[in-house]
Amino acid sequence: MSAIVQNLKEKNASYASSFDKGHLALPPAKQYLVLTCMDARIDPASAFGIDLGDAHVIRNAGASARDALRSIVISEQLLGTKEILLVKHTGCGMLTFKNEDASDAVNELKSLDIDFLPFPQLETAVEEDVKFLKGTSLIPDDVPISGWVYEVETGKVRSVV
């Protein structure tokens, strides 16, 4: 057993021993979703104040709205989501990769028609992703969508759009 698997088993046994939330329903109680990055320095529940059962949390490389579209549509159309928070963050890998560093990954993804989706400027990327979500007919116009930056250096979120 790897140290990673051992850690999962031990920590989960401790978590389950005091678990008392087995009654929660499938649809998020507060009917919203948070889309953020897979970055290891982000703990959405703690940093964004999400109690268990309250919200969908979608995470991918760079908090890409395009990449998350399937999950967002399922959340909104089938599970009652009525508000979307999009949170990118400082120091994101998708900001810092140079194309030459990423070329192996980019080329392999391209071979499967998967877009790498890097972005050169953080606030602009938040604005563009919110605009993309507001522009798609897949999400009703009455679903509020806001864009945020989380600072991994300070633990603070700030509003962008």
- Sequence-distant (≥ 6) Cβ neighbours of residue 34 within 8 angstroms: 44, 48, 50, 55, 56, 57, 58, 85, 86, 87
Residue 56 amino acid letter: H
CA atoms within 13 A on the CB side of 125: 22
Instruction: Collect all residues with Cβ–Cβ distance below 8 Å to 5 and sequence separation of at least 6.
Output: none
- Selected from 121, 123, 124, 153, the binder of a second copy by CB under 8 A is 153
Q: Which of residues 15-54 bind a second copy (CB under 8 A)?
A: 15-16, 19, 21-22, 24, 26-30, 32-33, 38-41, 43, 45-49, 52-54
Q: Considering only residues 51-110, where is the footprint of a second copy by CB under 8 A?
A: 52-61, 67-71, 73-75, 77-79, 83, 85, 91, 93-94, 96-97, 101-102, 104-105, 108-109
Instruction: Name the minimum Å distance from CB 121 to a second copy.
Output: 18
Number of residues that bind a second copy (CB under 8 A): 84
| β-bridge pairing 83-89 and 145-150 | parallel
Q: Which of 128, 142, 157, 161 binds a second copy (CB under 8 A)?
A: 157
**List 7, 121, 123, 124, residue binding a second copy (CB under 8 A):** 7
